[in-house]
Chain A
Amino acid sequence: AQSVSQHNHHVILSEAASLELGCNYSYGGTVNLFWYVQYPGQHLQLLLKYFSGDPLVKGIKGFEAEFIKSKFSFNLRKPSVQWSDTAEYFCAVNAGDSWGKLQFGAGTQVVVTP
Protein backbone atom coordinates (compact mmCIF):
# COMPACT_ATOMS: atom_id res chain seq x y z
CA ALA A 1 0.00 0.00 0.00
CA GLN A 2 1.05 3.55 -0.68
CA SER A 3 2.63 5.32 2.31
CA VAL A 4 4.11 8.71 3.09
CA SER A 5 6.84 9.20 5.68
CA GLN A 6 7.85 12.41 7.34
CA HIS A 7 11.06 11.90 9.21
CA ASN A 8 10.76 14.51 11.91
CA HIS A 9 7.76 14.78 14.18
CA HIS A 10 8.98 17.88 15.97
CA VAL A 11 11.47 20.53 14.93
CA ILE A 12 12.52 23.50 17.04
CA LEU A 13 14.67 26.21 15.56
CA SER A 14 15.48 29.87 15.94
CA GLU A 15 14.38 32.68 13.67
CA ALA A 16 16.60 33.11 10.62
CA ALA A 17 17.66 29.46 10.72
CA SER A 18 17.17 27.32 7.64
CA LEU A 19 14.46 24.67 7.58
CA GLU A 20 14.34 21.39 5.73
CA LEU A 21 11.58 18.85 6.26
CA GLY A 22 11.89 15.42 4.75
CA CYS A 23 9.13 13.55 2.95
CA ASN A 24 9.40 10.15 1.30
CA TYR A 25 6.70 8.11 -0.35
CA SER A 26 6.44 4.52 -1.43
CA TYR A 27 4.49 4.65 -4.69
CA GLY A 28 6.40 3.66 -7.83
CA GLY A 29 4.26 5.29 -10.50
CA THR A 30 3.50 8.85 -11.42
CA VAL A 31 2.71 11.00 -8.40
CA ASN A 32 1.37 14.41 -7.62
CA LEU A 33 2.93 15.91 -4.50
CA PHE A 34 1.75 18.49 -2.03
CA TRP A 35 2.85 20.26 1.11
CA TYR A 36 0.10 21.61 3.33
CA VAL A 37 0.53 23.80 6.39
CA GLN A 38 -1.70 24.21 9.41
CA TYR A 39 -1.05 27.32 11.48
CA PRO A 40 -2.26 27.26 15.09
CA GLY A 41 -6.04 27.42 15.17
CA GLN A 42 -6.36 27.56 11.40
CA HIS A 43 -7.32 25.15 8.65
CA LEU A 44 -5.02 23.19 6.41
CA GLN A 45 -3.84 25.26 3.49
CA LEU A 46 -1.69 24.55 0.48
CA LEU A 47 1.96 25.64 0.59
CA LEU A 48 3.01 24.26 -2.77
CA LYS A 49 2.43 21.40 -5.18
CA TYR A 50 4.22 19.45 -7.88
CA PHE A 51 2.46 17.84 -10.81
CA SER A 52 5.12 17.80 -13.53
CA GLY A 53 7.93 19.86 -15.04
CA ASP A 54 10.65 21.60 -13.06
CA PRO A 55 11.26 19.43 -9.98
CA LEU A 56 12.05 22.50 -7.91
CA VAL A 57 8.79 24.18 -7.04
CA LYS A 58 8.25 27.41 -5.23
CA GLY A 59 5.32 28.05 -2.95
CA ILE A 60 3.96 30.75 -0.77
CA LYS A 61 5.83 32.52 2.02
CA GLY A 62 9.28 31.71 0.66
CA PHE A 63 8.94 27.93 0.79
CA GLU A 64 10.23 25.62 -1.90
CA ALA A 65 10.37 21.88 -2.39
CA GLU A 66 12.41 19.59 -4.58
CA PHE A 67 11.07 16.42 -6.15
CA ILE A 68 13.79 13.79 -6.50
CA LYS A 69 12.20 10.90 -8.34
CA SER A 70 15.09 8.49 -7.79
CA LYS A 71 14.84 8.98 -4.05
CA PHE A 72 11.02 9.07 -3.90
CA SER A 73 11.40 12.30 -1.97
CA PHE A 74 9.77 15.72 -1.87
CA ASN A 75 11.59 17.72 0.79
CA LEU A 76 10.41 21.13 1.89
CA ARG A 77 12.86 23.97 2.48
CA LYS A 78 12.96 27.55 3.60
CA PRO A 79 16.28 29.40 3.82
CA SER A 80 15.34 31.66 6.72
CA VAL A 81 12.36 30.98 8.95
CA GLN A 82 10.29 33.48 10.87
CA TRP A 83 8.36 33.14 14.10
CA SER A 84 5.18 33.13 12.00
CA ASP A 85 6.27 29.86 10.37
CA THR A 86 5.40 28.03 13.57
CA ALA A 87 2.90 25.47 12.35
CA GLU A 88 2.34 21.84 11.51
CA TYR A 89 3.47 20.78 8.05
CA PHE A 90 1.99 17.85 6.15
CA CYS A 91 3.33 16.17 3.06
CA ALA A 92 0.68 14.53 0.87
CA VAL A 93 0.88 12.30 -2.17
CA ASN A 94 -1.62 11.49 -4.87
CA ALA A 95 -1.03 8.49 -7.10
CA GLY A 96 -1.20 9.96 -10.58
CA ASP A 97 -3.23 7.12 -12.07
CA SER A 98 -6.05 7.47 -9.58
CA TRP A 99 -8.60 10.10 -8.76
CA GLY A 100 -7.72 12.87 -6.29
CA LYS A 101 -7.19 10.77 -3.16
CA LEU A 102 -4.42 12.14 -0.95
CA GLN A 103 -2.25 10.07 1.33
CA PHE A 104 -0.93 12.29 4.11
CA GLY A 105 2.21 11.96 6.15
CA ALA A 106 1.93 12.14 9.93
CA GLY A 107 3.01 15.77 9.97
CA THR A 108 5.92 17.72 11.44
CA GLN A 109 5.34 20.24 14.18
CA VAL A 110 7.69 23.17 13.65
CA VAL A 111 8.30 25.67 16.41
CA VAL A 112 10.30 28.80 15.62
CA THR A 113 11.64 30.65 18.62
CA PRO A 114 12.28 34.40 18.53
Chain B
Amino acid sequence: DAMVIQNPRYQVTQFGKPVTLSCSQTLNHNVMYWYQQKSSQAPKLLFHYYDKDFNNEADTPDNFQSRRPNTSFCFLDIRSPGLGDAAMYLCATSRQQGRGRTDTQYFGPGTRLTVL
Protein backbone atom coordinates (compact mmCIF):
# COMPACT_ATOMS: atom_id res chain seq x y z
CA ASP B 1 0.00 0.00 0.00
CA ALA B 2 1.11 3.51 -0.73
CA MET B 3 1.94 5.25 2.46
CA VAL B 4 3.96 7.67 4.52
CA ILE B 5 6.65 6.03 6.63
CA GLN B 6 8.50 7.60 9.52
CA ASN B 7 11.61 6.30 11.20
CA PRO B 8 12.28 5.80 13.95
CA ARG B 9 8.92 5.64 15.74
CA TYR B 10 10.60 6.52 19.02
CA GLN B 11 13.76 8.55 19.41
CA VAL B 12 15.58 9.41 22.60
CA THR B 13 18.30 12.02 22.54
CA GLN B 14 20.27 14.04 25.01
CA PHE B 15 19.95 17.73 25.59
CA GLY B 16 21.94 19.49 22.88
CA LYS B 17 22.74 16.36 20.87
CA PRO B 18 21.72 16.68 17.21
CA VAL B 19 19.04 14.35 16.01
CA THR B 20 17.57 13.52 12.60
CA LEU B 21 14.12 12.17 11.93
CA SER B 22 13.24 10.67 8.58
CA CYS B 23 10.14 10.44 6.44
CA SER B 24 9.57 8.60 3.20
CA GLN B 25 6.55 8.31 0.96
CA THR B 26 5.41 6.04 -1.82
CA LEU B 27 2.57 8.33 -2.91
CA ASN B 28 4.73 10.40 -5.27
CA HIS B 29 3.27 13.56 -3.78
CA ASN B 30 5.00 16.83 -4.54
CA VAL B 31 4.53 18.41 -1.11
CA MET B 32 5.93 17.16 2.17
CA TYR B 33 5.25 18.70 5.56
CA TRP B 34 6.69 18.48 9.05
CA TYR B 35 4.45 19.12 12.05
CA GLN B 36 5.23 19.25 15.75
CA GLN B 37 2.52 17.99 18.08
CA LYS B 38 2.87 18.38 21.81
CA SER B 39 0.69 16.55 24.26
CA SER B 40 -2.98 17.57 24.08
CA GLN B 41 -2.25 20.21 21.45
CA ALA B 42 -2.96 20.65 17.77
CA PRO B 43 -0.32 19.69 15.22
CA LYS B 44 1.74 22.77 14.44
CA LEU B 45 3.30 23.18 11.02
CA LEU B 46 7.06 23.70 11.12
CA PHE B 47 7.80 23.86 7.38
CA HIS B 48 7.01 22.26 4.09
CA TYR B 49 8.64 21.45 0.79
CA TYR B 50 6.77 22.26 -2.39
CA ASP B 51 8.76 20.12 -4.79
CA LYS B 52 12.29 21.31 -4.03
CA ASP B 53 11.27 24.65 -2.61
CA PHE B 54 11.64 24.92 1.14
CA ASN B 55 9.08 27.02 3.01
CA ASN B 56 9.65 27.82 6.64
CA GLU B 57 6.89 28.96 8.97
CA ALA B 58 7.68 32.33 10.49
CA ASP B 59 7.67 31.05 14.05
CA THR B 60 9.71 27.89 13.49
CA PRO B 61 12.91 28.13 15.55
CA ASP B 62 16.24 28.14 13.72
CA ASN B 63 17.08 24.99 15.64
CA PHE B 64 14.88 23.08 13.21
CA GLN B 65 16.09 22.38 9.70
CA SER B 66 14.92 20.14 6.91
CA ARG B 67 16.30 18.41 3.85
CA ARG B 68 14.57 16.83 0.91
CA PRO B 69 17.12 15.01 -1.24
CA ASN B 70 14.48 13.61 -3.60
CA THR B 71 10.72 13.33 -4.02
CA SER B 72 10.40 10.36 -1.71
CA PHE B 73 12.44 11.41 1.30
CA CYS B 74 12.39 14.28 3.73
CA PHE B 75 14.43 14.76 6.90
CA LEU B 76 13.92 16.86 10.00
CA ASP B 77 17.14 17.91 11.71
CA ILE B 78 17.10 19.31 15.21
CA ARG B 79 20.50 20.84 15.73
CA SER B 80 20.49 21.26 19.50
CA PRO B 81 17.40 19.72 21.06
CA GLY B 82 16.09 21.30 24.19
CA LEU B 83 13.68 19.86 26.73
CA GLY B 84 10.92 21.89 25.10
CA ASP B 85 11.42 20.07 21.82
CA ALA B 86 10.13 16.81 23.21
CA ALA B 87 7.05 16.08 21.13
CA MET B 88 5.53 13.93 18.44
CA TYR B 89 6.82 14.88 15.00
CA LEU B 90 4.47 14.19 12.14
CA CYS B 91 5.31 14.00 8.48
CA ALA B 92 2.57 14.50 5.90
CA THR B 93 2.33 14.62 2.13
CA SER B 94 -0.11 15.98 -0.39
CA ARG B 95 -0.50 16.50 -4.09
CA GLN B 96 -0.65 20.23 -4.57
CA GLN B 97 -1.70 21.69 -7.87
CA GLY B 98 -0.64 25.26 -7.33
CA ARG B 99 -1.81 28.14 -5.20
CA GLY B 100 -5.51 28.17 -4.55
CA ARG B 101 -5.90 24.43 -4.70
CA THR B 102 -5.41 21.97 -1.94
CA ASP B 103 -5.87 18.30 -1.36
CA THR B 104 -5.89 15.82 1.44
CA GLN B 105 -2.77 15.52 3.52
CA TYR B 106 -1.66 11.98 4.30
CA PHE B 107 0.10 11.54 7.60
CA GLY B 108 2.75 9.18 8.80
CA PRO B 109 2.57 7.51 12.23
CA GLY B 110 4.90 10.07 13.77
CA THR B 111 8.16 9.93 15.68
CA ARG B 112 7.97 10.53 19.40
CA LEU B 113 11.05 12.42 20.50
CA THR B 114 12.23 12.33 24.10
CA VAL B 115 14.96 14.71 25.23
CA LEU B 116 16.86 13.76 28.36
Where the two chains meet, the residues of A that have a C-beta atom closer than 8 Å to any C-beta of B are 4, 9, 32, 34, 36, 42-46, 49, 51, 90, 94, 96-102, 104-107
Contacts and interface: CB of A to CB of B under 8 A. Distances in A.
A34 B42 contact: no
Contacts of B96: 99-100
Interface stretch (B65-73, B76-84, B97-105): B97-105
B42 A105 contact: yes
Nearest to A91: B42
B41 A106 contact: yes
Contacts of A96: 100, 102
B107 interface: yes
B43 A101 contact: no
A32 B42 contact: no
B94 interface: yes
Contact of A46 (B48, B99, B104, B110): B104
A95 B40 CA distance: 24
Given A100-B94, A100-B96, 6 more contacts: A43-B110, A44-B43, A51-B102, A98-B99, A100-B48, A100-B105
Contacts, number: 57
Contacts of B4: 43
B21 interface: no
A73 to B, nearest CB: 18
Contacts of B41: 106-107
B104 A104 contact: no
B103 A107 contact: no
Contacts of A36: 107
A97 B99 CA distance: 7
A28 to B, nearest CB: 16
Contacts of B90: 43-44
Contacts of B106: 46
A43 B100 contact: no
Contact of A101 (B48, B107, B110): B48
Nearest to A30: B100
A43 B107 contact: yes
A105 B43 CA distance: 8
Contacts of A98: 99-100
